[in-house]
Chains A and B, each alone.
Chain A
């Protein structure tokens, strides 16, 4: 079960990422709890496994259109599938890594694993979903931790 302050850490990490990396703020909707083990995904998902003080996964999932524009905002001209996958993993890695500021050094994060299907298996039944709106696009950060 995540505490409100812990969810805030991920919300802040998400807004900080868009403000700095894309230099254009994202709006974050109210986080909600999913209890059926299926928090859902868009076309591309970067998954970070968490171990140590907490266990589970954190993932960032977004449609290709959003990731393409995000790459262009970062002055990246190569919008190949390889770079799209690289980006979705890097966003997940950055938000998860930044969370160590609050969770501490025993919040161990893996290298990203990227999926390009709209199905991601959550290790626990309960996940918090943080909806992200950026420009005309929707994405989400899913935090599934025990």
Chain B
């Protein structure tokens, strides 16, 4: 009996960054077939509202943002949906910041600047947890 390829369900991606260039870059560069971008937010407050509306499965999250920073936003998103997968994408390169973000509920950390390959590898690793 022939084996059928197991198809994985598509997942919704939300991008959070105060830089329009980075938001567009992540949307353009991510090459993972089963990820569908459902929205982008430029600060933590917008992200929480968008998260409630679009219910994404995966989020890329900047840390240094106006109004509400990324760490606070991670905590709020995890409180709404503990199953969400969050990849922090930040220039803050010290180990303590990465550890803090993970402790608050993020699942991975990618340091800016990044190549397309580094972004896709980080997303693949994140999705391996799904």
Contacts and interface: CB of A to CB of B under 8 A. Distances in A.
A103 B94 CA distance: 8
Contacts of B94: 100-101, 103-105, 107
Given A76-B24, A111-B18, A97 B112 contact: yes
A89 B21 CA distance: 11
B10 interface: no
A21 B93 contact: no
Contacts, number: 66
Contacts of B2: none
B20 A105 contact: no
A74 B97 contact: no
Interface residues on B, range: 20 to 34
Contacts of A97: 64, 90-93, 112
A74 B114 CA distance: 11
Interface stretch (A33-41, A79-87, A120-128): A79-87
Interface in B83-115: 90-94, 96-97, 111-115
18 contacts: A16-B113, A20-B113, A20-B115, A75-B28, A82-B20, A86-B19, A86-B20, A86-B21, A90-B19, A93-B64, A94-B112, A97-B93, A98-B91, A98-B112, A101-B94, A103-B94, A110-B64, A111-B66
Contacts of B50: none
Interface of B: 18-22, 24-25, 28, 64-66, 90-94, 96-97, 111-115
Contact of B113 (A21, A110, A111): A21
B71 to A, nearest CB: 12
A76 B96 CA distance: 32
A71 interface: yes
Interface of A: 16-17, 20-21, 23, 71, 74-76, 78, 82-83, 86-87, 89-90, 93-101, 103-105, 107, 109-111
Given A74-B21, A109-B64, A111-B65, A98 B96 contact: no
